[in-house]
Amino acid sequence: MVQLMFWTIAAYLVGALPTAYIIAKWVKGVDIRRVGSGNPGATNVFRSIGKGPGLLTLFIDMLKGWLPVWLCMQYTAGSVAPLVVGLAAVAGHTWSPFLRFKGGKGVATSGGVFLALLPLATLISLGAFAAAFAVSKHVSVGSLAGAVTLPIAAFVSDGLSLHVALAVVLGLLILVRHIPNIRRLFKGQELSAAADSAKEEL
């Protein structure tokens, strides 16, 4: 129990590191919460700060999910601990104490968690993200498609298991965090990748 508490707290703190905020401050000296969409996540860094900083943010946000889970799998016994640790990492990213318990939407960090737990399911979910994004030109649509696909892919990969339960929880969290995006999509107000490119050219 003490060991699980240690791993859970450590994962939460790692997940809570405000990657987007730190990189935006470092590169441009701006508060990412006050530019673009205001969301402290990789997509907003990509749009508001640049492609390089955005990709770096994406990589680190995924690493925040993958690393705690992978380390936990190496040094603890049992199948439950890595799942708890993964959930803690995503919770830290989503509700960071360093940003007054606000944060990103958990997509990249959830992807990192499942990359450690079920790589095949993660690749299937990533494929759904890529396909939806290619068709819609909206990152949010890709994220939602990936979130919906993840539990199905986890079931195909691992059967009815606790991995599927975690995938459902994280998928629902991502859906809830995207409610404002869903509303903008229905109103035709969601910013697309094409619009991002136009903004850069202007």
The pLDDT of residue 201 is 31
Pull the structure tokens for residue 129: 């993200």
The pLDDT of residue 197 is 41
The answer as to whether 112 is a domain residue is no
Rounded CA-CA distance 201/26 in Å is: 24
Q: Are residues 47 and 93 in the same domain?
A: yes
Q: Are residues 199 and 125 in the same domain?
A: yes
Mean pLDDT per block of 10 residues along the chain (202 residues) reads: 91 98 96 93 94 96 98 89 97 97 96 97 97 94 97 93 96 96 89 49 32
Q: Are residues 156 and 73 in the same domain?
A: no
The pLDDT of residue 194 is 47
Of 105, 133, 162, the last residue of a domain is 105
End-to-end CA distance of the chain: 56
The answer to whether the predicted template modeling score (pTM) of the entire model surpasses 0.95 is no
The pLDDT of residue 102 is 94
Residue range(s) defining the domain that contains residue 2: 1-105
The answer as to whether 110 is a domain residue is no
Count the domains in the chain: 2
Q: Are residues 101 and 121 in the same domain?
A: no
Q: At what angle do helices 51-75 and 80-94 cross, to 10 degrees?
A: 150
**Residue located via tokens 């946000």:** 61
Q: Are residues 121 and 197 in the same domain?
A: yes
Phi/psi class of residue 185: alpha, beta or left (left: φ > 0; alpha: ψ in -120 to 50)? Answer: alpha
Q: Are residues 72 and 136 in the same domain?
A: no
Q: Are residues 126 and 181 in the same domain?
A: yes
The pLDDT of residue 28 is 94
Contacts of 73 (CB under 8 A, 6+ apart): 82, 116
Of 84, 105, 126, the last residue of a domain is 105
